[in-house]
A and B are shown apart, each in its own frame.
Chain A
Amino acid sequence: MSAGPASAAGRARRTELPGVLRHVRPRPRWTEARLLVFAAAALAVGSLTLGTTEDGRLRFAQPTQLLVYLLALALAHGAQVVAGRRTDQVLLPVVGMLGGISLLLMQRLPQDLVVQDWFGGEVGLATVQLVWLLLAVAIATTLAIVVRSDAWLRRYKYTWAAAGVGLLLLTFVLGTDVNGSRLTLEIGPLSGQPSELLKVILVVFLAGYLSENRSLLMEQDTRVGPFRVAPLPYLAPMVAMWAIALLIVVVQRDLGAALLFFAVFLALLYVATGRVSLVVIGLVLFVLGSMLMATLFEHVRTRIDIWIDPFADPLGAGYQVVQALHAFARGGLLGVGLGAGLPTVGGRLPIPEVHTDFPLAALGEELGVVGLMAILGLYLVVIERGLRIGAAAADDFRALLAVGLSLVIGIQAFIIAAGNLKVLPLTGVTLPFISYGGSSILVNAVVIGLLLALSDKGVEPPPPPTPPRRGRLRRRCA
């Protein structure tokens, strides 16, 4: 072969980070456009309902906010069209719809639930949430367009892991206590919950690790009793990383995040190795761990007690759950209408922390079983999209990454919805895109952005699989 093909081969061997503007070719995205129109129509009518309920005559509730939000979605759509990215066309409208519902809900709740001081003026709940949503749309779109290579994720997994754990330790030491759990880290004017970001970092690490060592995990065994389990030296750093994260999270009293991490971990392990035995062992560990925590920690026991029978203490520990169930009951099949639910008790909302922990109950009362089924359906769609992106991915890392990311959103939504409905004990995780909370929305936006990037059909193909050498693991750890 001449020098040409050789240098071409050499060029092809290195994975490059191409510039943002390369391969820009505007492409129409009709499906996404149509879906966005439908979403906008539904949200507009929702806003109309809210405004009319509040005011008595026909008007929109906070039309400016809705218009700004829809404009942001339109711009996001336009940006992807111009950039010509062949990313998934369903994710943005669905997430946009969820965000719109969130906006309507925040507009409906009393604005003084959250008051921030920005630029000298006071802004209330809906405005703050709107800003987060706009940032989220921007982040997701930027990631979708700009991220063309996954090398930065793929190569430095241990670095990412260390950074994540480090951030969490920082929170534990320097963080501020909110409601008994130390979840928030405040640096100057910014405050956030690093455990949200840790979810994504964990998924990146797991995807990288599992895809690299997948064959070994599948084929070589050690014997643990009657089971044949994956080789311990390879499972060990993974379990260690997970155990550290879990321990810190449990000490921070964030049970929901612990459950989420564990569920995502088990799911990815199963997808990567196909070995049910690992899942079984994991579940056994989970049961043992829960029993241990229930005996050791009183707050865990309380949570489980009010899960089993919240009506035993309807005015004390079980108050939140009981009120949420009452809200679903009042909603019935069709709901009482946006803005018409949540009868005040002495001027206060009946459900405490409704904007963070129980948005589903508020929506359940106002949109009914019918409306809430649709919202749950939307989450299923997000999961389905993520899993399809995973199934169609070019290599194992991307597949596991996509699956992990979609599970992060999907399992989290399931956990909090189940807590609202007394299917699982109540935990403090947020409902992605609908709950109030900057950290939650922004991190989920990162997730969606990465999923979109992974779904791009024209993206740079993954590097050829490098054979895992036996000494590889030791070298990395050294």
Chain B
Amino acid sequence: MTWTSAQGPGGRRPLGRGIVHVAIVLSVAFGTLGAALGYWGVIRATDLSTAPDDPAVIAAARTVPRGRILDRDGKVLARNAKDANGEYYRVYANDAISHVVGYASRLYGRAGLERTYDAELAGLAGDPIADALRKFGATPYDPKTLKLSLSLDLQRAAVRALGSHKGAIVMLDPRSGEVLALASTPTYDASAIADPATSAKAFQALLDDKDQPLLPRATIGRYVPGSVFKIVTAIAGLGSGAVGPDTSYAEQPKAEKDGLLVDGFRVRDGHHPETGSKRLDFVDATEVSCNIWYALTGLRTGGANLVEYADRMGFDKPIPFDLPTAVSQLNDGSGSGPGGFADDVELANAAYGQAETFVTPLQMALVASTVADDGVLMTPHLVTSMTGKRSGTRTIGPSRMATVIDPSVASEIKAAMVQAVEGDLGRQFTSGAKIPGITTAGKSGTAELGGSGEPHSWFIGFAPAEAPTVAIAVIVEQGGRGGEVAAPIAGDLMARWLRSGS
């Protein structure tokens, strides 16, 4: 018989080598398991265990009273109530604050500040030391009470002022960035959503409502700005040095009648025959809201500069804020010219606030705030402090968002904006914005929408002009002319605020 060695000259040893290799592969495999364990149990531990769909968090939400939300004077904006089972649900002070405070509902999750600060209000997140100690405590949660810079009084007044119109009002303190009022209309009853008994019906009704009451227009609404955008052009033009306060254009008086020809397109202007054939300078042009002057300034400043200065104030990206914000834009970015404009026509039109320019009310309030605070833009914020039983109070102070222009440039623009409200001609456009006894600065805007609808009515401004403590932006959707609708609202609200002794 013939046979070959069943084992070969190596005998058992090749088998042994294979076994060692298998052992190594398995060790590496289990090693990756250990790494995965470390990843999920340590690295992702905090964000997963505090996520709103974690069962422990859901259980806690029902059994641990959520932190309250207070306004700047300590008035309660959001508190807890117990239902029939002894579990907690939220109750809100007033419809006016719904878009700011939001709601916390068992069915529909969270919105507004209730969502942004969910972890703090539920008491889950904190500093690492508190987190570590939390495990030792009998109650592992330390819900924080939030204090806002919002004034309930002012907020309610703002919502009342808008009345049955759709629109938004943003008021803030330009020195610190604290938001005093953030109103959007139509508003809605957040308590109805938070109450488990009425939750589903109320939410469905709101979704079905054509007027979109759930939309926070002040931060998410994007509108054509119209003439209020001229302040941005002014900032870019004077800030970059392309124009000065004395700049005037020879062709401007004639173009008032015939329209300005830009690359075959006529820029029209029809607001101010009172100026006659006078060549307007910066202050004059602002006072009468001259489209021609601004179109020429826009062309002279150039698209790149315009976009750059706008971006410093928060354009073309979400604004850092306690609530989600939409992005304001000067153009849709598809153009090949400098700054993304397609051509000079688009640039000229954008310079006075038409074309593909869309802004949020919050963004325009920041523009006003920039001028008011001598060219420095402070980051807008709502929450000023968070207080927990165990962790104490943590204050959130003002922070600088950008330095946009020099104080000297800002004072030039300020002067022009004062003139726009208080000047002889300006008064005719923006009557009602002036606060009696206080130097008021501002700019109205009438944003044409094309088609047959009424234009948006805009106003941005601040007071007192020498040392502003409040800046405002008002938009009334399709409200008509800016000077007639938005301006008086702004004046009244600023007056109310200044009277109350901030």
Interface residue from B12, B42, B51, B135 paired with A399 (Cβ < 8 Å): B12
Of the candidate stretches A40-48, A324-332, A444-452, the one touching chain B is: A324-332
Nearest-CB distance from A348 to chain B (Å)?
10
Q: Could you tell me if A215 and B6 are in contact, using CB atoms closer than 8 angstroms?
A: yes
- Min CB distance A240 to B, Å, is 23
Q: Which residues does chain B contribute within 8 Å of A333, judged by CB atoms?
A: 41-42
* A274-B17, A369-B37 given; A469·B1 CB < 8 A: yes
Is B58 an interface residue when CB atoms closer than 8 A count as contact?
yes
Q: Mark B49-70, 1 if CB is under 8 A from A, else 0.
A: 1010111101100000000000
Measured CA separation A372–B41 after assembly (Å): 10
Tell whether, in the assembled complex, residue A421 and residue B37 are in contact, meaning their CB atoms are under 8 Å apart. yes
Q: In the bound complex, how far is the Cα of B19 from the Cα of A332, in angstroms? A: 35
Contact with A along B8-26 (1 / 0, CB 8 A): 1000101111110111001
CA A244 to CA B201, docked complex, whole Å: 57
> Looking across the interface, which residue of chain B has its beta carbon closest to that of A377?
B30
Q: Which of A398-439 contact B (CB under 8 A)?
A: 399-400, 403, 407, 410-411, 414, 417-418, 421-423
Among candidates B6, B27, B33, B44, residue contacting A465 with C-beta atoms closer than 8 Å: B6
- Contact for A384 among B16, B23, B29, B135, CB less than 8 A: B23
The interface-forming segment of A53-61, A112-120, A129-137, A264-272 is A264-272
CB proximity to B under 8 Å, residues A298-354: 314, 322-323, 325-326, 328-333, 336, 343-345, 350
1/0 per residue, CB under 8 A from B, across A32-68: the answer is 0000000000000000000000000000000000000
Given A328-B41, A383-B23, A410-B26, A423–B8 Cβ distance below 8 Å?
no
A283 at the interface (CB under 8 A from B): no
Cross-interface CB contact of A421 among B14, B27, B33, cutoff 8 Å: B33
- If A387-B22, A403-B22, A418-B33 touch, whether A345 touches B40 (CB-CB below 8 Å) is no
CA of A58 to CA of B271 in the docked complex: distance in angstroms? 86
- Within residues 125 to 161 of chain B, which ones have a CB less than 8 A from any CB in chain A? 135
CB contact between B37 and one of A216, A273, A372, A384 (< 8 Å): that residue? A372
CA distance A396 to B5 in the complex (A): 13
In the complex, B207 has a CB within 8 A of chain A: no
* B502 on the A face (CB < 8 A): no
The minimal Cβ–Cβ distance linking A284 to chain B, given in whole angstroms, is 17
A152 vs B42: C-alpha distance when bound (angstroms): 50
Which chain A residues lie closer than 8 Å to B37 at the CB level? 328, 364, 369, 372-373, 376, 421
**A344/B32 contact (C-beta < 8 A), A403-B19, A465-B6, A469-B3 known:** no
Task: Name the CB-closest residue of B to A331.
Answer: B41
Instruction: Kindly provide the distance from the CB of A325 to the nearest chain B CB, expressed in whole angstroms.
Output: 5
Task: State in angstroms the CA–CA spacing of A326 and B50 once bound together.
Answer: 9
Q: Which residues of B contact A417 (CB under 8 A)?
A: 33
The 8 A CB mask of A366-387 against B (1 = contact, 0 = none) is 0011001100100110011001
Judged by a CB distance under 8 angstroms, whether A214 is at the interface is: yes
Considering the complex, which residues of chain A in the window 212-237 have a beta carbon less than 8 Å from any beta carbon of chain B?
212, 214-216, 218-219
- Tell me the bound Cα distance from A336 to B45 in angstroms: 13
- In the assembled complex, how far is the CB of residue B461 from the closest CB belonging to chain A, in whole angstroms? 46
From residue A414, how far is it (CB to closest CB) to chain B in Å?
Answer: 5
Asked if residues A329 and B40 are in contact (CB atoms below 8 Å), the reply is yes
| In contact, B56 and A422 (Cβ under 8 angstroms) | no
Q: CA–CA, A216 to B15, complex, Å?
A: 14
Is B36 an interface residue, CB under 8 A from the partner? yes
A334–chain B nearest beta-carbon distance, Å = 8
Asked if B164 is an interface residue, CB under 8 A from chain A, the answer is no
Interface size grouping (class) on chain B: 35 or more
Q: Which of B23, B40, B41, B46 has the most CB of A within 10 A?
A: B41
Within 8 A of A (CB), among B262-313: none
Task: Determine whether A26 belongs to the interface, using a CB cutoff of 8 Å to chain B.
Answer: no
Partner pick for B15 among A331, A399, A421, CB 8 A cutoff? A399
B56/A270 in contact, CB under 8 A = no
A residues less than 8 Å from B135 (CB atoms):
336
B22 near A271 with CB under 8 A, answer: yes
- Whether the Cβ atoms of B6 and A329 lie closer than 8 Å is no
- Least Cβ distance of B39 to chain A in Å? 8
Q: Is B38 an interface residue (CB 8 A)?
A: yes
Given the known inter-chain contacts A274-B18, A329-B40, A343-B55, please indicate yes or no for A414 contacting B30, CB distance below 8 A. yes
Give the residue name and chain of the B residue nearest to A390 (CB).
B19
Q: In the docked arrangement, what's the CA distance between A400 and B22, Å?
A: 12
A468 interface residue, CB < 8 Å from B? yes
The reply to whether B54 and A330 contact each other, CB–CB distance below 8 Å, is yes
Q: In the bound complex, do residue B22 and residue A329 qualify as a contact, i.e. CB atoms below 8 Å apart?
A: no
Tell me whether A180 is interfacial, beta carbon within 8 Å: no
Q: Is the pair B1, A369 in contact by a Cβ cutoff of 8 Å?
A: no
Q: Across the interface, do B15 and A364 meet the contact criterion of CB distance under 8 Å?
A: no
Q: Are A465 and B56 in contact (CB under 8 A)?
A: no
**Which of B21, B26, B45, B55 is A383 in contact with, Cβ under 8 Å?**
B26
Bound CA–CA A343/B58 (angstroms)? 9
CB contact list, A460-478 vs B, under 8 A: 465-469
Residues A414 and B26 in contact, CB atoms below 8 Å apart: yes
Residues of A within 8 A of B32 (CB): 418, 423
Contact B19 A314 (CB under 8 A): no
**Is there contact, CB below 8 Å, between B27 and A274?**
no
Q: Which residue of B lies closest to A212 (CB)?
A: B6
B42–A369 CB distance below 8 A:
yes
B12 near A325: Cβ-Cβ < 8 Å: no
User: Which of B18, B44, B135 has the most C-beta atoms of chain A within 10 angstroms of its own C-beta?
Assistant: B18
* A88 and B18 alpha carbons, distance in the complex (Å): 22
A211 to B189, CA, bound (A): 78
Residues of B with C-beta under 8 A to A379: 30
A241 at the interface (CB under 8 A from B): no
A267 and B22 contacting across the interface, CB-CB below 8 Å? yes
Q: Could you tell me the distance between the alpha carbons of A129 and B434 in the complex, rounded to whole angstroms?
A: 82
Cα separation A441 to B45 with both chains bound (whole Å):
32
A391 at the interface (CB under 8 A from B): yes
Contact A270 B42 (CB under 8 A): no
A415's closest neighbor in chain B, by CB?
B29
Instruction: Determine if B38 and A467 form an interchain contact, defined as CB atoms under 8 angstroms apart.
Output: no
Name the one of B3, B34, B56 contacting A376, with C-beta atoms under 8 angstroms: B34
Query: By the criterion CB–CB under 8 Å, are A329 and B33 in contact?
Result: no
Closest to B40 in A: A328
**For A273, what are the chain B residues with a Cβ–Cβ distance below 8 Å?**
18
Give the residues in chain A near B15, CB-CB below 8 Å. Answer: 271-272, 274, 391, 396, 399-400
Q: Which residues from chain B contact A329 at a C-beta distance below 8 Å?
A: 40-41, 44-49, 54
A468 proximity list for chain B (CB < 8 A): 3, 6
Interchain CA distance A328-B45 in the complex, whole Å: 7
Kindly list chain B residues whose C-beta atoms are within 8 Å of the C-beta of A390: 19
Q: Whole-angstrom distance from the CB of B124 to the nearest CB of chain A?
A: 11
- For residue B7, CB closer than 8 A to chain A, the reply is yes
B4 CB within 8 Å of chain A? yes
- Pair B54/A326 contact, Cβ less than 8 Å: yes
**With known contacts A267-B22, A330-B56, A391–B8 Cβ distance under 8 A:** no
Pairs across A and B, CB under 8 Å, 8 listed: A218-B14, A272-B18, A325-B44, A387-B22, A396-B12, A417-B33, A418-B36, A422-B40
**A interface, CB within 8 angstroms of B:** 212, 214-216, 218-219, 267, 270-274, 314, 322-323, 325-326, 328-333, 336, 343-345, 350, 364, 368-369, 372-373, 376, 379-380, 383-384, 387, 390-391, 396, 399-400, 403, 407, 410-411, 414, 417-418, 421-423, 465-469
Q: Which residues in B have some Cβ–Cβ distance to A below 8 Å?
A: 1, 3-8, 12, 14-19, 21-23, 26-27, 29-30, 32-34, 36-38, 40-42, 44-49, 51, 53-56, 58-59, 135
Other A-B pairs beyond A329-B41, A345-B58, A369-B42, 8, CB < 8 Å: A212-B6, A329-B48, A332-B41, A350-B55, A376-B33, A379-B30, A380-B30, A422-B36
10 tightest A-B CB contacts, nearest first: A467-B3, A329-B48, A271-B18, A369-B41, A421-B36, A328-B40, A350-B55, A465-B6, A343-B56, A329-B45
